[in-house]
Chain A
Amino acid sequence: MSFSESHKFSGEGIAHIARIIDKINLGIWEYNTDTKEVKWSSGFYTALGYAPGEIECSYNFFFNQLLYYHDKEVFLKATQHPRQGGSPVAHVRLLTKLNGYQWFENTTQKHDTADGPVIYGVLKNIHALKISEIKVTEAEFKVNEIGRIAKIGSWEIDTATMGLTFSKEMYDIFELDDHVTMSVEEAIGFFEPHYRKTLTNVVNEALNYCKPYDIELLFKTAKNNVIWVRSKGVPVINDHGKCVTVRGIFQDIDSIKRKGITLQSSINLLDDQNKRLQNFAYIVSHNLRSHSGNLKFMVNLFEEAKLSEERTEIFSHIKTISESLSATMGHLDEIVRIQSEITRERKLLDFETIFNNVASALHTNIDRTNAVINTNFSDCPQVNYIPAYLESILQNLLTNAIKYKHPDRNPVINITTRKVGNEVYLIFEDNGIGIDMQRYGDQLFGMYKTFHQNSDSKGIGLFITRNQVEALGGTIQVESAVNIGTKFTVKLV
């Protein structure tokens, strides 16, 4: 049975209700819009921290002294236009006696009486509730903001249902507009194929064996952007040690990761250069040492020798050493020049033209060995390169192919170019004596490394070629079989 049922109240009943209204821990008010008469319950004063009658009971006082100016509009909206049948609720701040402005919930009703239209309402202090609500909203906002700024999303897998839930930022990283729900498998499908198995394994290990994980993977967003992400999952276990939830973060680490990769490749490049320089210093020391050692040796012998024929012979060796020393110095100059020429301007060069220059310079060697040279530069006729380098590379490879020809056959040399994407390859094949790659493969491009009993082998050509190619960011690879031939594949750019 409700209080208003059958509209019958005894005299005592009305007094009883008035008592209830005054004693209740809520502020009850009434306002007659015609007479401007205002009534406040005792609870109204108490709610604001006053004793009944301590403050002026009037609409003006309420509106101007108690109601926070910012909340006036909300209050008016709720009281002046109460919806038919409903009880509009407004959250407003009122000035209390001791605690400053506090949040109140005001519920309004409109009722027509014999004395005119009356608005009445109930005022309830909801300050603590409102503050915690504001704090929650702020915290949520902060969490979202942190996620957005750090590009970190969070997710959860419920073990029982295998349901996957995402934070807002997750969708931003996925580049999905709709906050659709997806299965674990569907989410894994966003990763690059190579990483799907890895992720599936670690997620399963987290679910089945409570093993946390932290991995970096390549991920393809809904808009087909491939980015590096970090996925970290931590299992949450119940009292029985079983995994009930896997909770984790998902972070866009693309810019960091790519910087790291660039850095690593710079380090590798520096490392290579360092190794080359060290090797170079070692070689220089070795060669100069062996020449100077021989020189000292011969000078001693010259002093010891008594016969003039002996002295003549020793002196001829001293001359040879002197020539070797100059040749070694020449090689060093050449290597130093590679580094200094690197800053020279690259030019658009015709393979055909450069090759013809080189071939005409070597025509005596070519003619003497009856070498057949087939060229095909049609796939990539031109390259942007330093002219002196390209000339030197072609010359060294051609000289080698002729020098190490097979004794039983005339040299056949095939030179082609290929373009793969933006990369330009120069391919040099011969039918010469070949080289035992298993034995010498790692030394092939070393300085003063000779592998054949060939008196004019100096072990400098390929060393220079590799340095020129690598100085411009290219690579050189070799395949060879003894008695069959050798194939050099030079990635120029």
Chain B
Amino acid sequence: MNTENKSVTAGIVDDDEIFTYGFKKITAIKGLFDEILNFSNGKEAIDFLKDPQNKQRLPDVLFVDINMPVMNGWEFNKAFEEIKSQLGKNITLYNISSSIDLEDIKRAKSNPIIADYLLKPIDEQYLAEIFRSLQNAGDLRLYN
């Protein structure tokens, strides 16, 4: 790995424990992401982001499931938009779901704060691309 590359932290927001386990495992095997944070629903993630103590630990990218108890993906998107400007860090947001409902897909894709909507099971190649682009984005920022 290029030592000049910025370290990239990802957060996974999903109540599905098996999926979360798999996500962590595959990224570990493929050497993607330097750290993975794990939240079991939207509220946990928002609480973490809002806590000033976590200022230095904020993720670069968040993968947010749609169907979750307490605070679902749609509610998270809305809450995130409200606190976005106070975070002091640009966090890329992806929605992930096994829903192939066109309404869901349209809803996520038409939201400007959502980078993309990923269908489960997640495509490893695409995950790797996301990781690299974030690493490079870090480079650009470093040199500018």
* A interface with B by C-beta (< 8 Å): 282, 285-286, 289-290, 293-294, 296-298, 300-301, 304-305, 310, 314, 317, 320-321, 448, 450-453, 457
Contact = CB atoms under 8 A, between A and B. Distances in A.
A289 B98 contact: yes
B98 A451 contact: no
B70 A451 contact: yes
Interface string B106-134: 00000000000000111000000000000
Contacts of A457: 69
Interface stretch (B18-26, B45-53, B76-84): B18-26
A286 B22 contact: no
Nearest to B30: A304
B77 to A, nearest CB: 15
Interface residues of B, number: 20
A289 B104 CA distance: 15
Contacts of A282: 101
Contact of A317 (B18, B26, B101, B121): B18
B100 A301 contact: no
Contacts of B21: 317
B136 interface: no
A296 B120 CA distance: 10
B99 interface: yes
Contacts of A448: 67
Given A314-B25, A452-B69, A453-B69, A294 B100 contact: no
Contact of A304 (B29, B41, B100): B29
B22 A290 contact: no
A451 B98 CA distance: 19
25 contacts: A286-B99, A286-B101, A289-B100, A289-B120, A290-B19, A293-B98, A293-B121, A294-B22, A297-B18, A297-B22, A297-B120, A297-B122, A298-B18, A298-B22, A301-B22, A301-B25, A305-B25, A305-B29, A317-B18, A317-B21, A317-B22, A320-B18, A321-B18, A453-B69, A457-B69
B19 A297 contact: yes
B16 A294 contact: yes
A283 to B, nearest CB: 10
B67 to A, nearest CB: 8
Contacts of B25: 301, 305, 310, 314
Nearest to A457: B69
Contacts of B18: 294, 297-298, 317, 320-321
A298 B120 CA distance: 13
Contacts of A294: 16, 18-19, 22, 120-121
B122 to A, nearest CB: 8
A448 B18 CA distance: 17
A194 to B, nearest CB: 39
Contacts of B121: 293-294, 296-297
Contacts of B120: 289-290, 293-294, 297
Given A293-B98, A296-B121, 10 more contacts: A286-B98, A286-B100, A289-B100, A290-B19, A290-B98, A290-B120, A297-B22, A297-B26, A297-B121, A451-B69
Nearest to A313: B21
Q: Which of B41, B99, B101, B121 has the most CB of A within 10 A?
A: B121
A290 B16 contact: yes
B22 A285 contact: no
A314 B22 CA distance: 8
Nearest to B19: A294
Interface string B62-87: 00000101100000000000000000
Contacts of A286: 67, 98-101
Contacts of B22: 294, 297-298, 301, 317
A400 to B, nearest CB: 15
Q: Which of A286, A296, A457 has the most CB of B within 10 A?
A: A286
A317 B20 CA distance: 11
Nearest to A448: B67
Interface in B1-46: 16, 18-19, 21-22, 25-26, 29, 40-41
Nearest to B21: A317
B141 to A, nearest CB: 33
Contacts of A310: 25
B26 A301 contact: yes
Contacts of A320: 18
Contacts of A298: 18, 22
A291 to B, nearest CB: 9
A16 to B, nearest CB: 107
Nearest to A317: B18
A453 B98 contact: no
Nearest to A321: B18
Q: Which of B19, B22, B122 has the most CB of A within 10 A?
A: B22
A453 B101 contact: no
A300 B26 CA distance: 9
